[in-house]
A and B are shown apart, each in its own frame.
Chain A
Amino acid sequence: MANSYELSSQYTPWVFIRAQWKEIGLDKLAYAIDSQLTLITKKYNTTQILDTIHWLEILNEENPECALALASRLNMVLSRIDLESFGRWVLTGLRMYPRDHDRQLAYFQLDDPQALQALNNEAGEGSLLAALPSLSLLLHGLAGKELELQPQHQSSLYGPPLRPVLTLKNLLIPDDYTHLDGSDRYRLYRAAIAHAVAHLSYSEPSLPVQTLKPMGIAVISAIEDARVERLLKLDYPGVEGWFLEFLRRGVKPQELSFAALIGRMNLALMDTHYQDDNYWVNKARRLFETKENDLHDYDAFRELASILANDLGQMRVPFHITHYTVPESYRDDNSFLWDFTNANNPLPETISLQIEGPANQEKQEKTTRPDETTEKVCTKEIELSRHFYPEWDYKLSLMRNDWCTVIEKIPSQHARHGLNNRNKSDVKDISLLRTRSQCQTRLLRRQWEGDDIDINAAIEVMVDKRQGLSPDPRLFLRRKSEEQMSSTIVLLDLSESSNDIVGIRMESILDIEKNAALLLVQSLVKSEDRIAVHGFSSNTRVEVNYYRLLEFGTPLDTNTTEIIRSVPGRYSTRIGAALRHATSHVKLEKTNHHSILLITDGAPADVDIYDASYLIEDASAAVQECKKSGVRIFCLALDPQAQSYVSKIFGHYNYRIVDNPISLPKQLASIYQQLVSL
């Protein structure tokens, strides 16, 4: 116990929180966490531990006994499931036994068999984080357009379960689906994506609410859900099964509440075999089927929905907007369909909360992070040298000589942060990369010995022999493995926009870029290939900051890692000047192949340029110059909307759009290997 306490005393963020807890009388809870911290600190990084503590903190607000019970069993629980599953497991307990404190306590004491069952269920299921890359691709392919898929965090223990939120550019998927929602969460995510695609393909977004009442909105939305799902079924016959699995799961055949009736109707409209004894449900099915051949007629279905809503009103079915959630967990909250700006009725609270989306959550997260105050950026940097580069003015078709000033700098040693951010999955990626070989084979002709006869040399030998000449005995072919030495600069975009927070881990794009670059460098420890990590940002053409964070041939030690991690994201993105400077560096390398791998999160831009095309055209010109000098350039764009400008800058085949930043390390490694093996 002394050891645990000693360790927890050294653990700065926890010391900070514990001091606060002591002040508000949470000594017992703090003591329970002290006893569990040893193992947790070995397994998780600072952010993840703080997330765990946060869960306990909010559970304590609702039910202190449960929080204490869980804190005392933290190691046991976390040995079975990961942190993402931890939150869901807590929510499962609370949703399984709403307002029943005794059973909740039994659950968190692990005395309830259901608690262990829920642990097993969570342990066996894939996480949203791991599924996001493939789900992003599925969404992109089915929707046929760029759409950003983001996780949506549950911030309230007793709040209604979250539903996906759809906008024209984003789809937010809840991270609070528990095994109560479905035994295989990937199938649930997949159904959510298909439903979103149905809306994107067939729904008119943002229709004015006008005088509609909340119940009317809910019924019209449910009918619209059914209409677009039917239409999607015509395009993709397989999705019927995706929806039915969860429509059947959520249905409560005996209940007569508004949500239950809507759930029963939703199933009846999709499942022809479903039998329901409720008159209203059957009326809905009958009316819907009369319009079945005219699914594109939105007005007809809206009229139908109005009749059904009117019936529910006459049936005196109570409807409470604050308690209503779309019954099917895969269906979105329908905020996509409505524009509440001129509504006569106030915006439903559940919808308004969810419309805020990730930006709102980021703000909330930012205010609750205790270590953030330490992350103020010190801007005192040491200038090393200045270099002048041209810039292409496409309007004048003029190369302006010595137009941009690239200033090489050493980044300041400001507050270190996130040094322990690397997690287990990243480490796994490194070992995978080490196994890859960078060798190329080449066919050598006219060899003394080899695997095959060089037919041309052999014929010459025979001709020489017949002519009485002394033949050259080198008549073999041999395949030789040749080390194709390459030098690559990983060029990081360090602009302000890279500070945006993304993903469940709440990492900034910049941190993800840095982690990916560090992982790549570490994976090449045993390779002959040379790699450097440089970064850039710009503050008008007279200040293009350029940081040689890791030089060619320099080992990646703790100091260099700290430098890379500490370099801040600020200012803008003048890609052209940075590429020209990076090219001058990589060309000094005496290796066979020279490459630059640019990682950026947005289009080139700077505060002194107002024409959006100007820096894109200049970057495109810079890429052409680099190619002419024999340097390969490839871009990894962390912007799902990047297609229009990256194809213009880098050509049709020299870029990849990373829809999900989490997959950046893997994609960077794969592109790197592709580049150096060509």
Chain B
Amino acid sequence: MTQKLDAYRLSEEPFYRPSGNEITLYEHAYRHRLPLILKGPTGCGKTRFIEFMAWKLDRPLVTLACNEDMTSSDLIGRYLLDAQGTAWHDGPLTLAVRYGGICYLDEVVEARQDTTVVIHPLTDARRILPLDKKGEVIHAHPDFQLVVSYNPGYQSQSKDMKPSTRQRFAALKFDYPDPKLEATIVAHEASITFDLAERLVGIATRSRALKNHGIDEGISTRMLIYAGVLIGSGVDPRESCDMTMTCAITDDPDITKALQGFVEAYFV
């Protein structure tokens, strides 16, 4: 039966460097199938972490990027028409529940709160998924685990999880790795020297100090990797940083100029 999820298995080990004991904690949580929230700023490695854990635990990973137009049918499935009549098609959540995968709802707060309520019976001791339209109740496969991610930086109460949803999860908090580790990650992912990666991380660290002083979030590890990739392919470092970092992160001319100052402080 698990062949249905074979397409969702990761064939190669994703590159991930732990910044704390998150791997051990996750393994413990998975052993008890605790639903998990991964929370942290944009581009700090949440998705990469869950990919790594799915690979390490040898479980299929069913990922769904949430958005505000998403309905519960998009999660659990719907009847579709075929030559014989109507046929039920499992949604990604149902697939993971039925066949035993890790279901990862990325940026879960982007979905409307009434949509995410369908996960409630899956995230307590019952571990069931009622399919009302189909008249079926699925008992979750023993390997099933629900993991959601979100970025607490959003400044909206409407884009927050309901307390009744939130309290069903254990949480792992992510942040940008410490500078040395972040430089190692950037150097590996972008195939650049450690010294160059360190400079990029320095720029990002400076930008993160401006959080709540004009920008909501600083430059992410992902942006640094983009910059590194461009530099690695021969683009001038300052132009690479402008393209992937300063211009990308803000439209405000004052903040742009300050960020360009950071770039110029690191690159002659």
Contact = CB atoms under 8 A, between A and B. Distances in A.
A655 B266 contact: no
A678 to B, nearest CB: 4
B125 to A, nearest CB: 30
B262 A138 contact: yes
B235 interface: no
Nearest to B213: A657
Q: Give the one of A134, A137, A140, A663 with max B CB within 10 A.
A: A137
Nearest to B257: A134
B268 A643 contact: no
B153 to A, nearest CB: 6
A190 B69 CA distance: 46
A462 B81 contact: yes
A459 B155 contact: no
B142 interface: no
Given A456-B73, A459-B86, A463-B79, A141 B262 contact: yes
Contact of A137 (B156, B158, B199, B254): B254
A569 B266 CA distance: 44
Interface in B236-260: 252-258
Interface in B183-205: 199, 202
Nearest to B215: A137
Interface in B203-253: 206-207, 209-210, 212-214, 216, 252-253
B212 A674 contact: no
Nearest to B214: A137
Contacts of B159: 678
Given A134-B258, A238-B267, A459-B78, A659 B213 contact: yes
B131 to A, nearest CB: 14
A231 to B, nearest CB: 14
A441 to B, nearest CB: 10
A632 interface: yes
A124 interface: no
Contact of B254 (A235, A455, A663): A663
B11 interface: no
Contacts of A555: none
Contacts of A239: 265
A238 B268 contact: yes
A476 B221 CA distance: 41
B154 interface: yes
Contacts of B257: 134, 138
B124 interface: no
A462 B82 CA distance: 11
Interface in B76-105: 78-81, 85-86
A544 to B, nearest CB: 26
A237 interface: yes
Contact of A463 (B86, B258, B263): B86
Contact of A443 (B69, B80, B214): B69
A514 interface: no
Contacts of A634: 155
A632 B207 contact: no
Nearest to B207: A141
A142 B155 contact: no
B223 to A, nearest CB: 16
A647 B86 CA distance: 54
Given A134-B257, A466-B85, A657 B78 contact: no
B264 interface: yes
A534 interface: no
B261 interface: yes
Given A134-B257, A134-B258, A140 B210 contact: yes
Given A137-B213, A137-B254, A459-B81, A194 B265 contact: yes
A141 B216 contact: no
Interface string B122-133: 000000000000
A138 B212 contact: no
Given A459-B80, A656-B213, A678 B156 contact: yes
A678 B155 contact: yes
Q: Give the one of A142, A627, A643 with max B CB within 10 A.
A: A142
Interface in A96-110: none
A241 interface: yes
A205 interface: no
B209 A141 contact: yes
Nearest to B238: A238
B214 A656 contact: yes
A654 interface: yes
Contacts of B209: 140-141, 144
B157 interface: yes
B214 A667 contact: yes
A327 B257 CA distance: 28
Contacts of A240: 268
Interface string A230-249: 00000111111110000000
10 contacts: A137-B213, A141-B210, A141-B262, A194-B265, A235-B202, A237-B266, A238-B263, A462-B81, A466-B85, A678-B156
In the A-B complex, the 8 residue pairs with the closest CB atoms: A137-B258, A236-B265, A141-B206, A134-B257, A134-B254, A133-B254, A678-B156, A138-B261
Given A133-B254, A456-B73, A634-B155, 9 more contacts: A134-B257, A239-B265, A242-B264, A242-B265, A466-B85, A643-B212, A653-B152, A653-B154, A678-B158
